[in-house]
Structure 1
Amino acid sequence: MHINPTSGFARDEDGAVAVIVALLLVVLLGFAALGVDVASLYRERAMLQSTSDLTAMSAVGHPDEATARADQTLARNRSRTDALETLELGRFLRNPAIAPEDRFQVLAAGSPGINGVRVVLQQDAPLHFARIFTRDTHVNLHRSALATRTGAASFSLSSHITNLDGDALNTLLAQEFGIDATINAGDLQRLDDTSVDLELLFAALNIEVGRNPAEILNATANGSQLVGALQTLLPTALAVQLDGLRNAAGGDNFTLRSLVGGIDTDLGLTATEFLSGVRFSALDVVRSLAATETVGTGININTNVNISGILSTKTILTAGEPPARSGLIALGEEGVQLHRAAVRLKSETKVATSLLGGFGDGIEIASVNLPIYAEVAGATATLEEIGCSTPNPLDVAARFSTSSIPLHPANGTAVAALYLGKLPESSGAVDPASLEFADMLEVNLTIPLLVTSLKVTGITIQARSYVPVGQSQSETVTFTRQDIMNADVIRSFGSGELLTSAVGGLLSTQNTEFRVKPGQEGLVAGAAAPLIATLLNALPGRLLSTLTTPVDAVLDSALGAAGLELGAGELELTGHHCETVQLVR
């Protein structure tokens, strides 16, 4: 039988698998090599992203040292310093109303408002087996990261409205809203002891806002809405005591910035998260409602003086408008300001005539009236630094600059001014040139004649005097982290104890002018002239020696009732707000 080896070999399938495997092995090894390189590139990219995240987070902690901190982070992560391709400082707004691509705005170094850092890192990732498919030996990778942290503080300044006692506050509420708006002393104390969360208060107002939740700060509400919202946060027994105020407050509108102002509402979610950390007493909400009504409005202050020689005194407090609208509390980043309005205190004091003593035969003092005004400059506090980055308890947590708001230019840099006389009715700064003479003494004269005597009654002696008090100066107020931990968050600024010397200057012979009331010249002519001359010569020294102490006590009592002190104030740090450093897109 003939055998054909060639055809047999062609039909033989033994070893076919080995051939196929041999042919595909090259392809399989190629894919394996490509897989190794792809995995390597993914790993390199993930590591580069992690380094980018760490670099951005480190840099945003200290934006002023962003480049140095970025280089330090790269070195610690064994990356080349030239890996930092881009580092941008800017402002990031966590605001749902802003398109994501527009939420980060690049700013120049040192610009106010920087709260974000964006970095772009680049790195050459080596190729391994994939080189058989390309001439390249590496692939250039780029990864970016954006980190943000916003720091803020909330703080308050002492003012006439925050320091009014219960009687004075009720007087103001009755003046503005009627007697039904007043609150008894026990409930006032309970309101003062009850803490309110600002975010919950705003939520209780149930005001519709757009996509940016921080727009609630620009919303308006009326007094009835505000008191009603406050009632929902109070115990029932206390809440019902505010029904009278809620009904009386009515529809007078005010912006919610009268409670807290200063924060940039474009910060969106950041701003509302800060609101949740702002707390104040329920009584402060009532005070804020009252404060919106006080500009230019005289408030009667009960001074309850019991001073020898003082028959009566009537005190009216008038608040001026601050140079910029401020809330009861300021909340904001570095640069935010809070203003305390200037205040004018008018005191009409009747003095016992016996206090002046006698002026000689024929001269009788029938009455003594002292119309004195005290003008207290407003104050400004500016947040200069907020510390968020250091755990050291002795490092600065917040630093403020404080200064007085200037009075009228004619007062120079004085922090207060005292006036004896008559001023025009106004809530603006007092121009010393507008001070007029005011009735001070009523005098009766007895003129001896040959047979009898002539009595001249109702002669009025007028007076005026003016003295600036103190000198404005900027001061720095600092709080450390340890202060915050110890709840040591109130600082005094300015210089107190100016009143006594100021009253002495007001009544001094150098500053005080006297005259007979115009139109009465005929009454003091002739034989009456020597008696009037004797009185006017003795009066300056007598006023200074006999009235300085009681007038000082009267003004001190009036200022104390209004919670004021010439040339001094208090700043309270009510909150230290620092976001956690976070990565955003």
Structure 2
Amino acid sequence: MRPPQRRLASDRHGSVAILVALGATFLMGAGAVGVDLGLVVYAKRRAQGAVDIAAMLAAADTGRADALARRSLADNGYGSTATVTVAPGSYAGNAKVAPASRFQAGTTPTNAVRVGLRTDVPVHFARLVGLPRSVPVQVTGTAANARFAAFSIGSGTAALDAGIANAVLGAMLGTRISLSVMDYNALLTTRIDTFGVLDALAPSLGLQAATYADIVAANASVGQITAALRVTAQGTPGAGAAAAAVGNLLSALPNAGAMIPVARIADLGDASALSPPRGTAGPQVGLMDLVSGIAAMANGQNQVSIDLGATVPGLLGTRLTLAVGERRQSSSFVQPGTANATISTAQTRLLIETTLTAPLGLGTVSLPIYAEVARASATLRSVACPWTAASMRQVTLDAQPGLLTLAIANVPRSSIAVGAASPDLGRGAPLITLPLLTVQGTARATVASPWAQTLTFSDDDIARHVVRGVSTTGMARSLTGSLIQGMSLSIDGLLPPPLLGPLLSATLSGVAPALDLVLDTTLRTLGIRVGYADVTVDGTLCNQAVLVQ
């Protein structure tokens, strides 16, 4: 007989049961691990949802971000057992920036919050096969708020002298314009939706189905943009007269005109990060500001020469030589602290050369007045949105008028160019030149505001587009009148200075109102008010906080 050991080794009875038992053990172990893995995945999804809610609540009020986020997580079951981090910072939705780099913790403007959560999920079966008793779960959520304001800095709504305004706009557009005073009043008192202008412009650019970002990245002709202004005005309640005025302007254009970047007329501003859909309501901007902006962009920084002839009462003749720097008067929707949060008017140089009748029958007096206006600026400081029924909108801005230099001097026309060296204002201007008599005059005045002034716009101010302004120090009621009164005269000839000087000063002072009219209307047509910064809030965009990462 064989030994028992050898018989056992060769016995095959019951082998299937053994294999089934071993296989069942592995299958049950894998099933147990699968159950635990499902629990972990579910726990992570639940934690992600809680973190996203906490991030949106915190981003809605970044000043209380930490408290709001922790309370929200505690309400959802993540209390003392979880590790929570709350990091306010800034989010820039720039497509050129990698998504992972768009949020920067601890930077300004504080418009976003990133919430992190780390917790342990207990497992039940996996520990039976030697795995840890719990699995760590870590999730983050980032949300950004949408508090935007749009504002403009410009010339206010005072009436314009139609003759001077027509001459200035016509010269910059290369055509003759004959708008009436009523036309200009309609343009000055009408506001249109800038996003509506983009919608109206899209068909002529072949971009009917394009996004706003595609439209603002395109170039359009003066004629195309003007036609879009008319279409938008036609769809604006109560803007029939303004639409007719833009139509008259459009019919005066000899051709399509120069190509202009659309973004320089109507931009998305910081709201481009939200990719607003077509049909979104945009900022309500003054129609006259858009018209003058088109003219300035069409002309570039070229010198403009305008002969007004004898159209200004009290003056025998007037010639304007003008140079306007690139300007940006409206902000579109922007957020405080961003690069787009500051806008400015144009740097402008203007030479007014007039002639008038001299006293004592001495022929004519030639009077040159040089004006140089530095940029006035406005900066968005804060936007308060109505998160509850009881709260109201409020926008705060800092505004500063531009430095104004006014002079009577011998200034050559060639020096009227933005960016060129400032002309010598110490050279006497030849007022009267006769064989036996020469009179020269010099004067200079500067008005400036040494600091910015804060302006606050209430919900009612925003709804009614109230214009608020700040003024420079040293402003006189008549700028040119004050300049003439302080003029130094140099008289060389037969007539004694004590006799001619007072007569000449009285004659020049008499035409000061006419000179103020020329100066003020010319600059207002370009969106600049001498010595003032007129600011209007064009609208706000107050969306709930949204997840961005």
Structure 1 residue runs of 5 or longer lacking an equivalent are 1-25, 359-363, 406-414, 444-456, 517-523, 525-530
CA contact 2:55–2:114 (8 Å) conserved in 1: yes
What is the deviation of 1:157?
1.4
Q: Which residue of 2 aligns with 1:91?
A: 91
In 2, distance between residues paired with 1:209 and 1:115? 33
**Superposition pairs of residues 69-80 of structure 1, within 5 angstroms:** 69-80=68-79
In 2, distance between residues paired with 1:149 and 1:543? 64
Q: Which residue of 2 aligns with 1:386?
A: 383
1:469-494 Cα shifts (integer Å, max 9, x gaps): 34443222222335324x25321112
In 2, distance between residues paired with 1:282 and 1:264? 22
What is the deviation of 1:340?
0.8
What is the deviation of 1:155?
1.6
In 1, distance between residues paired with 2:307 and 2:127? 91
In 2, distance between residues paired with 1:469 and 1:137? 77
Alignment of 1:474 with 2:470, yes or no, is: no
**Superposition pairs of residues 569-584 of structure 1, within 5 angstroms:** 569-584=533-548
Q: Which residue of 2 aligns with 1:463?
A: 441
- Change in CA separation of 1:272 and 1:513 when aligned onto 2, cut-off 3 Å: farther
**Superposition pairs of residues 143-154 of structure 1, within 5 angstroms:** 143-154=139-150
What is the deviation of 1:84?
1.5
- Change in CA separation of 1:515 and 1:395 when aligned onto 2, cut-off 3 Å: farther
In 2, distance between residues paired with 1:136 and 1:311? 96
Q: Which residue of 2 aligns with 1:361?
A: none
Alignment of 1:110 with 2:107, yes or no, is: yes
1:535-565 Cα shifts (integer Å, max 9, x gaps): 2245455555x25752442233223433355
What is the deviation of 1:581?
1.2
What is the deviation of 1:574?
0.8
Q: Which residue of 2 aligns with 1:14?
A: none
What is the deviation of 1:220?
1.5
Alignment of 1:278 with 2:283, yes or no, is: yes
Q: Which residue of 1 aligns with 2:417?
A: 427
What is the deviation of 1:52?
0.3
In 1, distance between residues paired with 2:530 and 2:91? 41
CA contact 1:330–1:338 (8 Å) conserved in 2: no
Alignment of 1:223 with 2:222, yes or no, is: yes
Q: Bigger CA drift: 124-133 or 216-225?
A: 124-133
Name the SS for the 1:198 alignment partner. Answer: helix
Alignment of 1:263 with 2:269, yes or no, is: yes
- Change in CA separation of 1:160 and 1:348 when aligned onto 2, cut-off 3 Å: farther
CA contact 1:423–1:435 (8 Å) conserved in 2: no
- Change in CA separation of 1:141 and 1:274 when aligned onto 2, cut-off 3 Å: farther
Q: Bigger CA drift: 236-245 or 251-260?
A: 236-245
Structure 2 residue runs of 5 or longer lacking an equivalent are 1-24
**Superposition pairs of residues 497-576 of structure 1, within 5 angstroms:** 498-500=475-477, 502-503=479-480, 506-508=483-485, 512-516=488-492, 524=493, 531-532=494-495, 535-541=496-502, 543-544=504-505, 546-547=506-507, 549-562=509-522, 563=524, 565-576=529-540
In 1, distance between residues paired with 2:392 and 2:125? 55
In 2, distance between residues paired with 1:53 and 1:477? 36
- Change in CA separation of 1:438 and 1:39 when aligned onto 2, cut-off 3 Å: closer
- Change in CA separation of 1:251 and 1:140 when aligned onto 2, cut-off 3 Å: same
Q: Bigger CA drift: 123-132 or 50-59?
A: 123-132
1:426-459 Cα shifts (integer Å, max 9, x gaps): 133773634432222356xxxxxxxxxxxxx652
Q: Which residue of 2 aligns with 1:297?
A: 304
Q: Which residue of 2 aligns with 1:314?
A: 318
What is the deviation of 1:217?
2.3
CA contact 1:64–1:109 (8 Å) conserved in 2: no
Name the SS for the 2:322 alignment partner. Answer: strand
CA contact 1:302–1:561 (8 Å) conserved in 2: no
1:239-278 Cα shifts (integer Å, max 9, x gaps): 794595485243411111321358259x455366797412
CA contact 1:315–1:345 (8 Å) conserved in 2: no
| TM-score, structure 1 as length reference | 0.70
1:262-305 Cα shifts (integer Å, max 9, x gaps): 8259x455366797412345555433321224543245569965
Larger CA Rg, structure 1 vs 2: 1
- Change in CA separation of 1:162 and 1:537 when aligned onto 2, cut-off 3 Å: closer
Give the alignment's Cα RMSD to 1 decimal. 4.6
**Superposition pairs of residues 108-507 of structure 1, within 5 angstroms:** 108-112=105-109, 115-127=111-123, 136-159=132-155, 166-177=162-173, 182-183=178-179, 193=190, 195-196=192-193, 197-206=196-205, 214-230=213-229, 232-233=231-232, 235=234, 241=247, 245=251, 248-261=254-267, 263=269, 267-270=272-275, 276-280=281-285, 284-294=289-299, 295=301, 296-299=303-306, 310-312=314-316, 314=318, 316=320, 318-322=322-326, 325-326=327-328, 328-334=330-336, 335=338, 336=340, 337-353=342-358, 365-388=362-385, 391=388, 397-405=394-402, 415-425=403-413, 426-428=416-418, 431=422, 433-441=424-432, 459-485=437-463, 487-495=464-472, 498-500=475-477, 502-503=479-480, 506-507=483-484
| TM-score, structure 2 as length reference | 0.74
- Change in CA separation of 1:191 and 1:537 when aligned onto 2, cut-off 3 Å: closer
1:177-220 Cα shifts (integer Å, max 9, x gaps): 55566556666666664734233134234355999852432321
Residue identity in the other structure for 1:195: I
Name the SS for the 1:332 alignment partner. Answer: coil
Name the SS for the 1:580 alignment partner. Answer: strand
In 1, distance between residues paired with 2:74 and 2:274? 35
In 1, distance between residues paired with 2:317 and 2:294? 28
Q: Which residue of 2 aligns with 1:9?
A: none
What is the deviation of 1:379?
0.7
CA contact 1:172–1:290 (8 Å) conserved in 2: no
In 2, distance between residues paired with 1:92 and 1:465? 50
Identity %: 23
In 2, distance between residues paired with 1:494 and 1:279? 24
In 1, distance between residues paired with 2:365 and 2:84? 81
In 2, distance between residues paired with 1:305 and 1:216? 43
Residue identity in the other structure for 1:469: V
1:145-169 Cα shifts (integer Å, max 9, x gaps): 2322343322211149997554444
Residue identity in the other structure for 1:491: R
Residue identity in the other structure for 1:461: V
Residue identity in the other structure for 1:427: A
In 2, distance between residues paired with 1:492 and 1:502? 18
CA contact 2:217–2:261 (8 Å) conserved in 1: yes
What is the deviation of 1:142?
2.6
Residue identity in the other structure for 2:521: A
CA contact 2:465–2:536 (8 Å) conserved in 1: no
